């Protein structure tokens, strides 16, 4: 996914959240279908629903305030709990087709990705660039915010198959 789309994530999330709310409230879309769609998306993209589609996720993100460290902790905890879609699609983060992947040849080891990732910044066993650490995009709490991909100055990170 290219950086231009990722930089518009909040806008896309807001619009998708409003459309989903309208579909449920005015067109009586059954919530069971919403859950099934969220879970199916999880199989392909991982826990993408929370940060790109869910109206509650959008509101929760707006409510998270404070220093960058405090926000990271709030995001980490919220995306560990969430709702049934978050629980199940979080488990799929390990198996989903799309993941955050690194082009080792381009990485300059600047560390910007880890500073912007609420998983790597809180748990030293995860890193997007250090060898021998686990990829945070397979962590249960990764909500595919793609801040890591967006902030990487070397275009070393991609969210791809
Ligand atoms: S931000 Fe990009 S270049 Fe910098 S350490 Fe992370 S992957 Fe490597
Ligand atoms: S998408 Fe990237 S920055 Fe966001 S939580 Fe997952 S690994 Fe961290």
* Closest listed residue to residue 6, CA positions, set 143, 106, 113, 149: 149
Query: How confident is the model over 72-108, as pLDDT tens digits?
Result: 888 888 777 778 888 888 999 999 999 999 999 999 9
Instruction: Check residue 101 and give its pLDDT.
Output: 95
Q: How many domains would you assign to the chain?
A: 1
* Prediction pTM value: 0.89
Quote the tokens at residue 104: 């080792």
Residue nearest ligand 2's atom 3 by CA: 117
Q: What's the CA-to-centroid distance between 21 and ligand 2, angstroms?
A: 26
* Backbone φ/ψ region at 103: left (φ over 0), alpha (ψ -120 to 50), beta: beta
Full residue range of the structural domain in which residue 136 is found: 3-160
Instruction: Give tens-digit pLDDT for 114-133.
Output: 999 999 999 999 999 999 99
The number of the ligand 2 atom at minimal distance from the alpha carbon of 144 is 1
């Amino acid at each position: 996914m290219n950086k231009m789309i990722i930089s518009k994530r909040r806008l896309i999330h807001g619009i998708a959240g409003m459309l989903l709310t309208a579909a449920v409230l005015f067109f009586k879309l059954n919530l069971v279908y919403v859950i099934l769609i969220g879970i199916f998306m999880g199989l392909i993209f991982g826990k993408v629903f929370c940060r790109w589609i869910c109206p509650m996720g959008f509101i929760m993100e707006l409510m998270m305030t404070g220093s960058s460290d405090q926000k990271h902790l709030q995001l980490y905890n919220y995306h560990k709990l969430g709702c049934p879609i978050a629980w199940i699609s979080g488990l799929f983060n390990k198996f989903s087709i799309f993941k955050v992947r690194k082009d080792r040849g381009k990485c300059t080891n600047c560390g910007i990705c880890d500073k912007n990732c609420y998983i790597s910044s809180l748990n030293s066993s995860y890193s997007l660039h250090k060898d021998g650490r686990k990829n945070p995009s397979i962590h249960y709490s990764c909500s595919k915010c793609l801040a890591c991909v967006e902030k990487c100055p070397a275009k070393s990170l991609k969210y791809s198959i």
